[in-house]
Amino acid sequence: MKYTIRILIGTGLTALAVKCVYEPTDMVIGGFSGVAIVLRSLFGLPLGVTTFMLNIPVYFAAWKMKGFRFVRWSAMATVSLSLWLSVIPSVNLSQSDRFIAAVFGGFLCGCGTGLVMSCRATTGGTDMVAALIHTRLGRYSVVEILQVLDGLIVIAGLYLFGIRAALYSIIAVLAAAKMSDFILEGANVSRSVFVISDRSREVARAIMEKMQRGVTGLPAKGMYSDARRCMLYCVVSKREIVKLKEIILNSDPEAFVILKEQMKELCASGNSVLFSSHILDVVEKVCNKVSVIKHGQLLYSGRTTEIVGTKGLEEVFMEMNGDEISVTPTKE
């Protein structure tokens, strides 16, 4: 029910931005909504119906390639967006001021996209296409593919509506990206980083000495080699990511660095990441599903939000067990 409400509100805000801000000012911001604006300008096709029809072959392909679990919430978001686009009246909220349209439209669209993505869904369109292409061209990330697709759509808008509208469209895209990132991540600008290295002590010492950051060592085991290692976990600001990578790779050029955001991108592409840790605070922040095992028996398996509620994950586990437990978190 909670996801349903978020998706309805999120798609409503997105539709409001498209119908009452972007379309009246001839701003094409990418995505299938941008394609629908272009087609409406050329052939007079209705936005809602066009968006829905464009998504049908994409969802059919996603269902065949990824399965129903990958598309269920996104399918609901796509249907909801198409309905909102059909029922919201055309009102020029920005009064044809493209700067206001870029900022206000970006705010509305970013809020809407963030709410939908917080339910691990998308409104389909180029997001879904990028995820499908990524399964075939794994060397390119979903974000890189999405940038190319949306860039082509913005270029189409440039051809139809001129360079001025295209430049304001870019501002709108940036505003929407910032707002959706804020909705998903909050005001917190920190980033969780995991490091796998054969020189874990040397790497940890370098991070603590050169960045004055705390580092936690987590026991890890390679399932192929059966080798035991120490995986490092630390939290840094966005601006420190580049410096952190330099310090790590100077200490160990073979080190493997993983950002929590990279895990999210993998999951958005339909993959699952199995993450094992005894640091329950890390589990709560990183994983959206968790399994609780005690003496070889599975006590619980489900969404992290459902088991946590208003408490911390560690507190819930202590109440559930009263003594030692084993946790196998999964991020999908």
Model confidence pLDDT, tens digit, residues 34-45: 888 888 888 888
Residue 302 is assigned to a structural domain of this protein: yes
> Are residues 27 and 159 located together in one domain of the fold?
yes
| Domain end marker among 262, 288, 316 | 262
Residue 188 has a pLDDT of 53
> Are residues 40 and 110 located together in one domain of the fold?
yes
Residue 261 has a pLDDT of 62
pLDDT band at 324 (very low <50, low <70, confident <90, very high): very low
Mean pLDDT of 221-235: 75
Are 30 and 156 in contact by the 8 Å Cβ rule? The answer is: no
Residue 267 is assigned to a structural domain of this protein: no
Mean pLDDT of 70-91: 86
More confident residue, 265 or 67: 67
Are 211 and 247 in contact by the 8 Å Cβ rule? The answer is: yes
More confident residue, 153 or 320: 153
> Are residues 19 and 138 located together in one domain of the fold?
yes
Residue 322 is assigned to a structural domain of this protein: yes
**DSSP for 176-242?**
HHHHHHHHHHTT--EEEEEEE-TTHHHHHHHHHHHH----EEEEEE-TTT--EEEEEEEEEEGGGHH
> Are residues 257 and 288 located together in one domain of the fold?
no
| Domain end marker among 262, 291, 316 | 262
Residue 18 is assigned to a structural domain of this protein: yes
> Are residues 165 and 68 located together in one domain of the fold?
yes
**pLDDT, mean over the chain:** 78
Mean pLDDT of 81-102: 87
> Are residues 174 and 58 located together in one domain of the fold?
yes
Half-sphere exposure of 72 toward its Cβ, with a 13 Å CA cutoff? 6
Residue 12 has a pLDDT of 93
pLDDT by residue (tens digit) across 288-323?
788 877 777 777 777 777 766 656 676 777 766 654
- Tell me what percent of the residues of the chain surpass a pLDDT of 90: 5
Mean pLDDT of 246-251: 84
Which of 73-82, 189-198, 230-239, 308-317 comes out lowest in average pLDDT? 308-317
Q: Is the pLDDT of residue 326 over 60?
A: no
> Are residues 299 and 216 located together in one domain of the fold?
no
Residue 310 is assigned to a structural domain of this protein: yes
Question: How many domains does the chain divide into?
Answer: 3
| Collapsed DSSP state (helix, strand, coil) of residue 136 | helix
Residue 139 has a pLDDT of 63
> Are residues 98 and 237 located together in one domain of the fold?
no
| Domain end marker among 150, 185, 220 | 185
> Are residues 21 and 143 located together in one domain of the fold?
yes
Does the model's pTM come out above 0.85?
no
Residue 281 has a pLDDT of 64
Which of 74-78, 121-125, 164-168 comes out lowest in average pLDDT? 121-125
Half-sphere exposure of 254 toward its Cβ, with a 13 Å CA cutoff? 4
Longest dimension (CA), the chain: 67
pLDDT band at 16 (very low <50, low <70, confident <90, very high): very high
Residue 82 has a pLDDT of 87
Using only C-alpha atoms, what is the Rg of the chain?
Answer: 22
| Collapsed DSSP state (helix, strand, coil) of residue 197 | coil
Mean pLDDT of 72-90: 87
pLDDT band at 248 (very low <50, low <70, confident <90, very high): confident
Q: Domain range spanning residue 229?
A: 188-262
More confident residue, 9 or 311: 9
> Are residues 21 and 114 located together in one domain of the fold?
yes
Cα 128–Cα 75–Cα 182 angle in degrees, nearest 5: 65
Query: Could you tell me which residues are beta bridge partners of residue 331?
Result: 273
| Collapsed DSSP state (helix, strand, coil) of residue 132 | helix
Residue 243 is assigned to a structural domain of this protein: yes
> Are residues 95 and 156 located together in one domain of the fold?
yes
pLDDT band at 138 (very low <50, low <70, confident <90, very high): low
Residue 13 has a pLDDT of 93
